[in-house]
Copies of this chain bind each other. A is one copy, B any other.
Amino acid sequence: MRKELEEAYGFLFEKELLDEIVENGTIKTASAGDKIIEIGEYVTGMPLLIKGAIKILREDNDGDELLLYFLERGDTCAMTLSCCLGETKSEIRAVAETDTTFIMIPISKMEEWTAKYKSWRNFVFESYHSRLSEMLDAIDAIAFLNMDERLMRYLRDKAKINRDETIHSTHQQIAYDMHTSRVVISRLLKKLELDKKISLQRNQIKVIDL
């Protein structure tokens, strides 16, 4: 655990804190597509992402989803964090976007470290700041952009997160993430292909110039 931890967080945390994390944390893994936290579940700990990416989703009354943002190495889930401290239920769903490794920190340590380590406090505040920014970006996208622009944004983000210009998704999966219907996505993707911004094959979308 030590090595991965240092690679992802070594420059952030002092030695003693890293020691404590190794001592108290437990390594967890999840495969692409695995559900990590479900809405309404009590949160048992806080994840420090070591490898891979996680997508954070909100759900409406009909059970349909909306992607809020992605988490990457070095990130933690401020939403989870927030839930831990308040000991409330999760308001979001977290799903592994790729194969993922993270360290689970038990809630009990969080309050302690917040008092003890300045670097931990800064990390926590920095996380909140990042997550608030990403929520704002999500709001901007939903409130101010049309579907075609949102779709381009989605494809860009997805390619970046997966470090792969070819996106391996069906139109239906994209529609779920964006809280719209498959037909709409197919229509817009086809338009993007005609504009030479992407190329389409079955189960994959290659980003050319977005």
- Given known A115-B121, A143-B66, contact A132–B131 (CB-CB < 8 A): yes
Q: In the complex the two chains form, is A61's CB within 8 Å of B139's CB?
A: no
Q: Interface residues of A toward B: which range?
A: 20 to 34
Task: Tell me if A41 counts as interface (CB < 8 A to partner B).
Answer: no
A58 with B140: in contact, given A118-B115, A125-B85 (CB under 8 Å)? yes
B139 contacts A82, CB within 8 Å? Answer: no
Complex CA–CA separation, A132 to B60 (angstroms): 17
Q: In the bound complex, what is the Cα–Cα distance between A92 and B136 (angstroms)?
A: 9
Partner of A135, one of B60, B115, B135: B135
| CB-CB contacts below 8 Å: A71-99 with B | 78-79, 82-83, 85-86, 91-92
Chain B residues contacting A138 (CB-CB under 8 Å) are 139
For window 88-136 of A, CB contacts with B under 8 Å fall at 91-92, 114-115, 118, 121-122, 125-126, 128-129, 131-133, 135-136
Task: Tell me the nearest residue of chain B to A117, going by C-beta.
Answer: B115
Give the shortest distance, in Å, between A120 (CB) and chain B (any CB): 11
Contact B179 A143 (CB under 8 A): yes
**Inside 8 A of A68's CB, which chain B residues have their CB?**
139
Sampled A-B contacts (18; CB under 8 Å): A58-B139, A58-B143, A61-B144, A66-B139, A66-B144, A82-B132, A86-B129, A114-B121, A115-B118, A115-B121, A131-B132, A132-B132, A132-B135, A135-B139, A142-B142, A142-B143, A143-B179, A144-B179
CB-nearest residue of chain B relative to A121? B114
**What are the residues of chain B within 8 A of A126 when measuring CB–CB?**
85-86
Partner of A91 from B58, B115, B121, B133 at Cβ < 8 Å = B133
Q: Which residues of B contact A136 (CB under 8 A)?
A: 58, 91-92, 135
Chain B residue with Cβ nearest A78: B132
